[in-house]
Amino acid sequence: MGKRRVLVPAEELDLSTVKYEHEEYNAPHLTGYALGFFVKILETPLIGNLVVNYMKKQNKFVELLQNTTIPETPMFKPEYPPQEPEKGVVDVEEDGKPEDRVEIALKCLPPYDPASCWTNETNSFRYWKIRDYHYAYRSKIVTPSIVAEHFISAIEEIHSKKPPTPLLVSFDADELRKQAAACTRRFEKGNPLSILDGIFVAIKDDIDCFPHPSKAATTWLHEVRPVKEDAICVSRLRKCGAIFVGKANMHELGLGTTGNNPNHGTTRNPHAPNRYTGGSSSGPAAMAGSIRIPSSLCGVVGLKTSYGRVDMEGSTCDAGTVEIIGPLASSVEDLMLVYAAILGPSPANKIILSSSSPCLPDLSSSNNLIAFGPLRLGKYTEWFNDVYSTDISNKCEDALNLLVKDHGCEIVEIVIPELREMATAHVVSIGSESLAVISPDYADGYGPKMTYDTRANLALFQAFSAADYVAAQRLRRRIMHHHMEIFKKVDVIVTPTTGMTAPKIPSSALKSGESNLRVSGYLMRFILAGNLLGLPAISVPVGYDKEGLPIGLQLIGRPWGEASLLRLASAVEELCWKSKKKPVSFYDLLKTN
């Protein structure tokens, strides 16, 4: 069995002994028929067990979980120590009306200047923002019904392209027209529900949005789990007047990082149609916004909120580590408005947030970070630079230098211990919790209807024992301790969002899927702390690589530190906005020219 490793208690770890090691997952890259054959082997009794156990050993799961003594007690859900109040913020009432929270968020933004927003004197690309739509509706430049027709035409064109780019897996043009007509009438009467009234929103296919089915991009989930009402976060947006265009494509069951989906078709990256959008939120990313991996690959903004900050009722993937609901947008100010609408914990999570009321940064006058003291940005240089292309680390470094120059930020060198242990704990936690949700349907015969890469993942997850899961939760407590110690020295941890830009889509992967753990490792390298520890994190575009593919900078905050992240992200966005490029695939729904 080999020598057993014994970890010292986390608080006794000597950081001077920590050595960074580049790690990659050892597994074959498979597509098409080869992937199908491999899955058949994995699902064959005895032989499959031998192959999976070999893969576990090769990737150090046995060494890190079974052959290691971990002194910490398990942490089955994120637990946080009390945090210092954030500076320069405005409190919002989580139990109040979502439209009231959105109004507070609106007052936190700089004044809206139609002249500067509607006249592009720099010739740089700029997405239309929520306030632009609201101004267009108020000024009768366009109506929500007209925009709806533009959207319907765009979707029909996109879905008819060769190769197809399926953004939505559930779409009803008549339902969309009905919502838009009601919104148009509200504007005609001069009483829109909020600044979000008439804003077109796509809902990821694992979040309930009645009357659309929730399939999580499978072909079968709606058969066993009918949708009877909106998810809580969707209902909050609906009260603000948001128009729901349908259910957005995604990686099946959220168990992948590329967005590949043989069931409904693979969404194409708007900046390069031969490349992935990233996953699991592939459809939302291509439609201008998503969580961190796809938002980085598609050049938009994505926020993952603190664990417990948003009520997740109505999500098909509701295990604690699997899916943390966060808003999506093409800009930080839009992100703030959507975040304000959806925030508010479930009753079960209110105890988690008992010492933290939600708040928003006050950006109404200026966003001078120096006013709140020098912001300390923690950077683990060896980890920061461990990327597929130096274009990524260089662009992120450029953004940090601008923050130092223009906002007086301080770069603090940090060490994050046990990164391989964190990755292992993440895989075991997310795998075990996903399996707990999916197993009943798998046992009922739906396994063969799942894609090959999903089945390959489940074969690995089934090999994790109860002891493995408990060991992973012991590691979670250690990793939490390490991060809380780091946050005593810094305000934010900075990394690239992903270790590579958008990967190419192999033609052989379109019909039968793809399994490429090396690519997944690069895409997930920097996002694990947010998932495993439930820390808030935001991705902001900072430029492009030599091939014109977007690069994102990730900001990881203290527990419940969303306001500080939004403030810093706004500063990054302002510093980098001139570099923004128009995507190859872009549709102007306002069509003002």
Catalytic residues: 204, 280, 290
Distance (Å) of CA 343 to CA 96, 278, 354, 358: 10, 25, 15, 8
Closest CA to 287 of 340, 331, 329: 329
For the chain, give the number of residues.
Answer: 593
- How many other CB atoms are found less than 10 A from the CB of residue 264? 21
Helix pair angle (32-42, 452-461), 10° resolution: 30
The Cα 131–Cα 109 span in angstroms is 10
379: left (phi over 0), alpha (psi -120 to 50) or beta: beta
- Asked if 104 and 92 touch (Cβ cutoff 8 Å), the reply is yes
**Given the structure tokens 């292992």, which residue do they identify?**
424
| Cα 428 → chain centroid | 20
Nearest to 512 by CA among 159, 147, 36, 167: 36
Q: Omega of the bond prior to 345 within 30 degrees of 0, cis?
A: no
Q: What does each C-alpha distance from 257 to 276, 285, 474, 522, 528 come to in angstroms?
A: 9, 12, 26, 10, 12
CB 480 within 8 A of CB 418: no
Kindly give, in sequence order, each residue whose CB lies less than 8 Å from that of residue 82, ignoring residues fewer than 6 positions away. Answer: 355
Q: Which backbone phi and psi does 337 adopt, to 5 degrees?
A: -65, -45
Torsion of CA 10, 12, 15, 19, to 10 degrees: -60
Query: Are 238 and 192 a contacting pair, CB within 8 Å?
Result: no
Helix spans in 451-561 (H) = 452-461, 466-486, 509-512, 517-524, 528-533
Identify the CA nearest to 110 among candidates 342, 368, 318: 368
For residue 107, give Cα distances in angstroms to 103, 111, 333: 6, 8, 11
Joined tokens for residue 496: 């690239």
Q: Which helix (H) or strand (E) holds 351?
A: none
Three-state SS at 425: helix
